[in-house]
Structure 1
Amino acid sequence: MNQTKQTNLFALIFFVFFIMSGQLLYLIPIMQEIPYAWFSSIVQVIYFTVPIMGYFIWTKKNPKEVFRLSPLGWKNLLLIIVFGFAIQPLMRFLSFFTSMFFPNVALEYAETLEGASFVSTLLTMAILPAFLEELSLRGVFLSGYRRLGTWKAIFCTALLFGLLHMNPQQFPYAFFAGLFFCFLVERTGSIWASIIPHFIINATNVIVIFLPVAEEVAAMESPGNAVLLLYTGVSAFLSLPLLGLILYGFLKINPKPYTPKYEPKERFLSLPIFCVFGLFIIFGILPYLDYLF
């Protein structure tokens, strides 16, 4: 079994475990008694770490090489921090656009955490996703798809990142962000290049929730969709020059992709990946079709 097929098979196992683990854990009586924020944190730790540990036992790979835990250097670190804020208008625009057709799952999830402390909310919405999702996607999967070539590996990893969110509202902006995260990791050779902006994006949303004026803003009458779409669209457009400068800076500091090229090229599409697409249709699309009609 070549490396890409091996990674595809792991992707299928990963998605099945991702879908089932939370439901199975909730059947444990003690899990039903703890605050939802902590339950969610436990679920995240389990459904990411268990498959990852199984992956390393199965493949015998070196975690240091897979995760790419190399230091960034101060120039890259600075650019990445700025990037974490600069990409948010574009993600906000994509999120609002898709929320015109489907429910905003991230917002609904934040509402289920109402009453939780800032620390527990930050842990479950920002710290754990930033580390666990990046170690899985930009670590295991991006490394596993190296033999596809750099750009195909970036695309396929970002695609799985979008599919992993299991709903049509989050898929576009997760896929979009995933492309950038993969690019940053490939250019710098460090997983920190995706962990840091991922954390900044999620932590910003958590901070907004806990701002003293958050309740007053939520109680205000919301402008129409057309106005909000225009506002988020203009904000996204105005952020493009800064994003362009950041990417230019990355190309100057990191002129060559980190991932080496391999021959012969391998193919991404296979039965396990079609099964992953099927899982997304069943659990990520069908439950939301009612919102379109």
Structure 2
Amino acid sequence: MEQITNKNFKKGLWLFLILFIVFLALNLFIGVYLYPLALYHEVIDILIPCLIYLLVTKKPILSTLKLDKKINRKSVIIVFQLFLISFLLKLGINYLVMLTGAIDPSRVTMEVMELAPSFLTLFFAVAIMPSFLEEIIIRGVVLDQFQDTSLWQGAIMTGLLFGFMHVDIGQLGYTTALGILMGAIVIATGSLWGGVLFHFLNNFTSVAALSFLQLIENTLPNGFEQMVTEAQAQSTANIGIVQEAYSFVFAVICLGIGILLSVHYIKKLQKVNVATKEIKLEEGVLEENENEGNESHIKVSWKSLFFNIPFFLIVLVYVGINLIR
């Protein structure tokens, strides 16, 4: 068994930086030379680099990616509850983002929808493929190195990296929040499948909702969409400071409740899985060293987690890309 001391968050950050740069380079290449494959870019810019890394380092694929561990029924229920709670987080964050008036959180999703020739293609490209491939790179390959951090340190840092991975600054807020939740789920359960399930539920509901709205839009009479757009523009122009203050308070309340509930259910998820491990230990199904998990991590300060060279370079690359775009 590989020693935990051989896996630390700085190695994880350096690894992410390399994979992030490769991801951006391949993404650009696909956009310029292989545009018809743009919907499936993650196979090229995420899956292939990750597989190369795993093969070169000779790491056991299933255990490194945490695909060898199942999640129990109670954990599945809690993951679903966290998914429902995530709507509060997304609502609060997107409300705050939209109050700036400069960023549209749904822009990228709408662009992807325009590329998809059918709902099935969109379903595969947005709901199925990212749910697995994005989990592999962030909560699989990268998170595997974060064995010297606590649950929340690992979840928050990989959540941020997940947000950076989406590149678009309009998506940074809610993708980071969801990334933190998925990171906490994977760390608490010790299985990537919890993150995959949450990710799929989130992406599927987005695809379904936007597709439904698009379907309704297509059935509306000509000129109706323009009329609605003009009405929205007029309404936005008439919003005063008081209305913006109300919106801000509403967003903060949603966000606050979402955070409190998320923390509660993550703790509940931890307890469920600790109890499951104890039962397996008693039954002799689980060996003692398999139960060490994240409890035996080396203490890492929050300051050292964020104030280091690789994280600084990651932020620099992210900011640079958004300035160029």
Q: TM-score range by the shorter chain?
A: 0.7 to 0.9
Q: CA deviation at 1:245?
A: 6.0
SS at match of 1:213: helix
Structure 2 matches for 1:24-39, cutoff 5 A?
Answer: 24-28=29-33, 31-32=34-35, 34=36, 39=37
Structure 2 matches for 1:158-197, cutoff 5 A?
Answer: 158-197=159-198
Structure 2 matches for 1:10-159, cutoff 5 A?
Answer: 10-28=15-33, 31-32=34-35, 34=36, 39-69=37-67, 70-101=69-100, 102-114=102-114, 116-159=117-160
SS at match of 2:294: coil
Q: CA deviation at 1:206?
A: 0.8
C-alpha change, 1:91 and 1:105, in structure 2 (3 Å) is closer
**What is aligned with 1:291?**
none
Residue identity (%): 20
**For residue 125 of structure 1, what is the amino acid of its counterpart?**
V
Q: CA deviation at 1:148?
A: 3.3
Does structure 2 retain, via aligned residues, the 8 Å contact 1:145–1:153?
yes
Size of the alignment, in residue pairs? Answer: 280
**For residue 122 of structure 1, what is the amino acid of its counterpart?**
F
**What is aligned with 2:321?**
283
**For residue 110 of structure 1, what is the amino acid of its counterpart?**
M
Structure 1 unpaired stretches of 5+: 289-293
Does structure 2 retain, via aligned residues, the 8 Å contact 1:188–1:258?
no
SS at match of 2:311: helix
**What is aligned with 1:9?**
14
Q: CA deviation at 1:242?
A: 5.9
| 2: CA distance, partners of 1:206 / 1:170 | 16
Does structure 2 retain, via aligned residues, the 8 Å contact 1:208–1:214?
no
The 10-residue stretch of structure 1 (259-268 or 157-166) with the greater mean CA deviation from structure 2: 259-268
TM-score by length of 1: 0.81
Q: CA deviation at 1:234?
A: 5.9
Does structure 1 retain, via aligned residues, the 8 Å contact 2:39–2:112?
no
Q: CA deviation at 1:183?
A: 1.1
Greater C-alpha radius of gyration: 2
| 1: CA distance, partners of 2:56 / 2:11 | 10
Does structure 2 retain, via aligned residues, the 8 Å contact 1:125–1:203?
yes
**For residue 188 of structure 1, what is the amino acid of its counterpart?**
T
C-alpha change, 1:247 and 1:270, in structure 2 (3 Å) is closer
The CA deviation string for residues 228-284 of structure 1, in whole angstroms up to 9 with x for no partner, is: 656656655666786566445424413489424234759645433322121011013
Tell me which of the two structures has the higher relative contact order, counting C-alpha pairs closer than 8 angstroms and 6 or more residues apart: 1
Q: Normalized per residue, which structure has more helix?
A: 2
| 2: CA distance, partners of 1:6 / 1:249 | 30
Among residues 251, 254, 272, which one is paired with 1:253 in the alignment? 272
Does structure 2 retain, via aligned residues, the 8 Å contact 1:142–1:157?
yes
Q: CA deviation at 1:146?
A: 0.9
| 2: CA distance, partners of 1:172 / 1:136 | 20
| 2: CA distance, partners of 1:232 / 1:274 | 30
**For residue 98 of structure 1, what is the amino acid of its counterpart?**
V
C-alpha change, 1:110 and 1:244, in structure 2 (3 Å) is same
| 1: CA distance, partners of 2:254 / 2:297 | 40
Q: CA deviation at 1:25?
A: 2.2
TM-score by length of 2: 0.74
**What is aligned with 2:280?**
none
| 1: CA distance, partners of 2:311 / 2:320 | 14
Q: CA deviation at 1:200?
A: 1.0
